[in-house]
Amino acid sequence: MARRFSYVGIIAPQHFPFIRPWIHWAGCKELVGALAKRMRVELETLENIDFPSGSMFWARPQALKPLLDLNLAATDFPEESGQLSLTNAHAIERLFFVSCEVAGLKWLKIAILQWHPSNEHHQSASSRLIVRRFVRKRNVALLHGENRNRP
């Protein structure tokens, strides 16, 4: 039974509407791109980014392995002084879903429907079959196929 959703690597909450305006590159696309290149992924054509707001999510270790394989050390992070962007911490935050896709897995966001405007990307999760179909047919990917599942 545990293998039924083995293709899902990250599940994160949908952004609250008042958070959405803050889900963007925040000026650190170049920094994110440099880390992505170390994962052998090109992000230059990616106009928008999505990531778990507040870095709150559930993940399989395999989904984060491309990030962990960067072997970042404490010295790769500046001392905390209230920075709002432009640090490796902010870049990594924007790479959680990318890492998941590089690992060959899919990511989902969950929501309480009445808190979000209805659209074609929302689906009730009332059964495993519904979730499986939703992931197969409507899963959103940030990367093109050639950037996913890199060894």
Tokens of 144: 């093109």
Closest CA to 4 of 133, 110, 137: 133
Taking 70 as the pLDDT cut, the residues of the chain under it are 1-5, 83-84, 113-128, 130-131, 134-139, 144-151
Closest CA to 38 of 92, 104, 77: 92
3 state DSSP class of 131:
helix
C-beta atoms surrounding 9 within 10 Å: 27
Sign of dihedral through CA atoms 70, 71, 76, 77?
Answer: positive
- Length of the chain in residues, anyone? 151
Angle (CA) 9 15 147, round 5°: 40
- For the entire predicted model, the pTM comes to 0.77
Backbone angles phi, psi at 110, to 5 degrees: -110, 155
134/137 Cα distance (integer angstroms): 5
What's the pLDDT at 4? 57
What's the pLDDT at 36? 94
Backbone angles phi, psi at 9, to 5 degrees: -100, -30
What's the pLDDT at 79? 79
What Rg value do the Cα atoms of the chain yield, rounded? 16
